[in-house]
Every structure is written in structure tokens, then in C-alpha cells.
Amino acid sequence: MLKHKNWMSYSFDGVEYGPKKTKTSILNFHFKKGYVPKNLTHQDALYNNALQIKEDIPGPYDVLLSGGIDSELIVRINNDLKIKQNVYSFRFEDDINIRDVESAKKVCSELDIKLNIVDFNLQKFIENDACDIYKKTYCPKIAQLTRIGWLPYLDNTPVHGNTEAYWCRKLGDDFTKKSIWEYDWNEHDFVHSFWSTISGRSIIGEWYTYTPEVCLSSMTNPVYRALLDDLVPGKISTWSSRTWAYVAFWPTIQHKTKLAGYEGMSGEPGTKPDFMKHFEDTVMHGTSNANFRFTETQLKNLFSY
């Protein structure tokens, strides 16, 4: 698990850096005592994260650019800092992820960055290779399983844009009583770190948690801060606010509909081809996907010993 100064580690069933041996193995995260995070603005924390990666892990880096905001920010930050990066997008057959690919092209065109497009037969991977990888990882999300299938096409250190800052809250049964805001992580966000341990390959699986300052500083981002202070009525997550949270830093960022990446040209967000749903229903059914949530106080206290 590549994290700065090993500030964070994981275990399955109590074994540090052990594999997930069953569909329901229990994941836990552990935080290093004595780590003192820097007090940074959110934008400075993002830049610091990129510079710390450059200092700790020799480049170049192969950045996986999808159509979403998470990976786009990484490309923009590396570009601002003149950090050498190779940018890749994987193009599926039958235009399955055409909107993601077109979005990646626009970003790279604006930044005058070469985009390496790799044709990847998604159905062939799911039918021939995915099960073997699944049994080594018990990965709870098919999208992350697919991205492991991309790794043989990359020669340098792969970079995935997982664990971008996400705050959410729950509504009560009457849809009026609201719970406290919490910072949210899911097991599937960390699958590439688990694969790094299994395969022995250096992988930056969760760029946004390479240093803890990114998640800690997210609560100071003006857009997120307004939500956490309940100044925006009706909101229960930062999901649809992510573009606005960063457009002040990078004004040319465009708002995009959040897609899973399998909807084709006009499918509804979240739809998938039947062969993917069949794999989920028959092979992945019953796989645990642990969820971790931290209040503002809990997040701040992770390093207070």
C-alpha cells in the first residue's frame, strides 16, 4: 500500500497486508501514530500530494484518465507542476465508454497533452480473465476489477484517481431528520493497493490518500465547507458539488454527468452491459464491500495521540 511514510495501512481478518481470502473477509484500516499532517489549504494539499509522490516514487507515471473529475484533477495538477506523466484512456468495444473517451480527449486537447488510447475488449476480459483476478482479490466492484485488467498495458507506475474527497449524510425515515456529515471510504476504492501487494507491482491506487492532507483539508474547501455548515438546503452529499469545488482552482473544468463508464452514447447513468451484470450476479454475488465513515472530529483525531 503506497502511502507517504506509511501513514495508513490495512489488514484483512487481522493480518496486516494479508489477502482477502474469502468473499466476506473483514477489512480494517490502521493509522500511524505520531504522523503530524501539514496545515494546508485544499488546493495546496493537492499540489503537495503530487510533489510528495514525485519525491517518494520515481516516475514516470501512467495516469488513467476516465471521463470523471477525479482523474482529470490529477492530470491537471501534474501538468501545472510539470510532473512527467503518460496519460491513458482505455476504449471499449461498441462505444461502451464513448462519453468517457471523448471527455478525456477534450481535457488533453485543452492542456496540449498526448492522450494514449488503448483498445480493450471488455466482454472478452470479463468472460476469460476476470474470474481469475476476482478469486485472487474478492474485489467487490466490477469496475475496479476491470481496471486491474488494464495494468499489463502500462509500463510505468500506474496512477488511479480513487478516494477523492467525498462527504455524505443520511436522512431519517421521515426524510427530514439529518445525520451528521461524514467522510466516506469504501473497500472497493482500495482494491488497487491490495493488488499491488498481491502482484508485487508498484501502484498508486488511491492518489487522493497518498498523503492525509488531501482528505483533512477537504473540509476547508469553500464549497464543501458550506455544505458541512448546512448552508445549502437539501444536500445530502458532495457528489454533485465536486465540479464547483474545483472550478475556482481550475476555471476551465467542465461539469459532467457522473457515469459508471459503460452507458454508451445515450444510456442512463449507472447502466451496464448484460455480460457485466451476469458476472456480478453469478460470480461476485455476496462479496462484502466494507464502508468506513469519519465525522470531522474523528478525521481530525486520527493523528491525535
What pLDDT band is residue 305 in, cutting at 50, 70 and 90?
A: very low
**In the predicted model, is pLDDT for residue 13 greater than 90?**
yes
Q: Which domains does the chain have, with CATH numbers?
A: 37-301 (3.40.50)
Percent helix / strand / coil, the chain, rounded to 5: 40, 15, 40
Which pLDDT does position 177 carry in this prediction?
A: 58
DSSP type of residue 6: G
Strands 291-294 and 182-186: antiparallel
Lowest mean pLDDT among 80-89, 102-111, 266-275: 266-275
Which pLDDT does position 304 carry in this prediction?
A: 63
For the segment 136-149, the average pLDDT, to the nearest whole number, is 97
- d(Cα 290, Cα 292) in Å, to the nearest integer? 7
For the segment 192-206, the average pLDDT, to the nearest whole number, is 97
Kindly state the helix (H) or strand (E) to which residue 27 belongs, with its residue range: strand 27-31
% of the chain at pLDDT higher than 70? 97
Listed residue (267, 215, 248) closest to 100, CA to CA? 267
- H helix runs in 138-288, sequence order: 142-148, 191-199, 213-217, 222-228, 242-247, 274-282
**In the predicted model, is pLDDT for residue 141 greater than 70?**
yes
Q: 187 — phi, psi (to 5°)?
A: -55, -40
